Amino acid sequence: MACVEKLHIVMFPWLAFGHIFPYLKLAKLMAAKGHKISFVSATPKNIDSLPKIPQNLAPFINLVKIPLPLVPNLPENAESTTEVPFHKVKYLKLMYDLLQEPITRFLESSTADWILADYVSYWLRPIASRLRIRWCPYNIFTASFMGFLGPPSNLIKGDGYRVKPEDFTVKPEWVHFDTNVAMSLYQSLALAAGYETDEETGNVSEAYRVGRSLEYFDMVAIRSSVEFEGDWLKLLQDMYEKPVIPVGLLPDVEESKEDDNEDWSEIKDWLDKQAKGSVLFVAFGSEAKLTQAQTTELALGLELTGLPFFWAMKKQRGLSDTEPVELPEGFQDRTRGRGMIYTTWVPQTKILDHESVSALLNSSGYSSVVEAMQFGKALILLPCVYDQGIIAKQLEEKKLGFQIPRDESDGGFTRESVAESVNLVMLDEEGKIYRDNVKDMQAILCDMDKQNGYVDNLLNYLQNHKFSKN
């Protein structure tokens, strides 16, 4: 049953486009039902980078720009994670933490009923409570990743039994159903820094931010669905002892307007010349950047496949990244005609929607995975950062994707393993299960009645549990 009285909802995502876009997609779905959305970004540049709000939704969505304060050690004008090397993201978080005063001033002048906020701004909950605005952590990670991390108290104080990187390579003791979802050793080693406070800056750990954001809340919203990970959602509900409301996987349902873009015209012309279902799309999203050694092996693996490919290649994370990666010598000459490489932004959903594209090789970034399944494209997985290793294990377990084999200790892989994985998923009979299962998930993702049902369920909860304004 739809809500009668309309809500005013503030949305406050972290400064990463892998967070901003799932927030914006949910904002549009709620605005389409007549609710007022204040979409706040702590950066004018990020707001200006967003796709234009559709005309029918524009009256309901207010894009709020809050200028970022200056912090030493950040490149000039850096306003998102894509513009800084990994080792400088901690300074972005410090800058984000300085927004407590301006976001408080904005909320004081608003008429907000709820604020849906990212884990990074864990400090916003007491501010919202003082202003009698309901607080809801909106989590854009999978339920499997959140379930693997564990209860909030464990994240804040440590769980007492996972003390070595090897301890994260097995199923946690609180997961009581059969699953192989866990971290590889190299992923655990990479994530270890997220469990420690940075001594240089005093920046609190990632685990602390996640735990504190979940410490006191009435409910948590999460980008997930029962069809995709029902067991993990039930685990979270039991673990948090509070309502966990999935908002759906948020497929891209808008009609793209990129046909007149010059780059898209060139890309489409090349794709149109390829055989139906023959092209491998290689894209690692906005966050992941391969090392030089990984880039070389990936490139030479693509060469070994003999298949046509389109590669959206990330050479560096912002202009301050002093270690840009390069293609192997002679690679472009040897693959000319059957390979196309772009080092700038590409219209990913348009490419995935093209009939010549058969599969996506990517880092298991959540949004890209959802987009690939939405368009029925098989998945070849090479996880790089953050939650991507858990997502890859989950997809592999569900036979929705195939992970390129790697060295468990350091994450290394070979050109031969790349070629064999691509050929298995795209061509071999053994890989048919991945191609078929992704088509089944496509049917679920494209069921907008299901997606709207998730949003209605969220809105009904928000309506029934807001503070009285009397």
Residue 220, CA atoms < 13 Å, CB-side half-sphere: 31
Helix (H) or strand (E) holding 63: strand 61-65
What is the phi/psi pair of residue 39, to 5°? -95, 105
Q: For the chain, which ranges sit under pLDDT 70?
A: 1-4, 42, 193-195, 254-260, 318-321, 469-470
As annotated, the residues of the chain forming the CATH 3.40.50.2000 domain(s) are 8-251+447-464, 262-445
CA dist., res. 381 & res. 311, Å (int): 15
Cα–Cα dist 432/445, whole Å: 20
Q: From edge to edge, which strands make up the β-sheet containing 114-117?
A: 61-65, 36-41, 8-12, 114-117, 134-139, 220-222, 244-246
Q: Which of 18, 65, 128 is nearest to 384 (CA)?
A: 18
For domain 8-251+447-464, give the CATH superfamily: Glycogen Phosphorylase B; (3.40.50.2000)
pLDDT of residue 1: 42
Query: Residue 345: is it exposed, middle or buried by C-beta count within 10 angstroms (0-12/13-18/19+)?
Result: exposed
Kindly provide the residue ranges of all beta strands, DSSP E only, lying in 318-441, ordered along the sequence. 339-342, 357-362, 378-381, 401-403
| Predicted structure pTM score | 0.93
The per-residue pLDDT for 354 is: 97
Instruction: Kindly calculate the radius of gyration of the chain based on its CA atoms and give it in whole angstroms.
Output: 22
Rounded CA separation 436/432 (Å): 6
pLDDT at residue number 161 = 81
Beta pairing partners, 403: 381
The answer to whether residues 26 and 32 touch, using CB atoms and an 8 Å cutoff, is no
Q: Which CATH superfamily is domain 262-445 in?
A: Glycogen Phosphorylase B; (3.40.50.2000)
Q: Exposed/middle/buried for 130, CB within 10 Å: 0-12, 13-18, 19+?
A: exposed
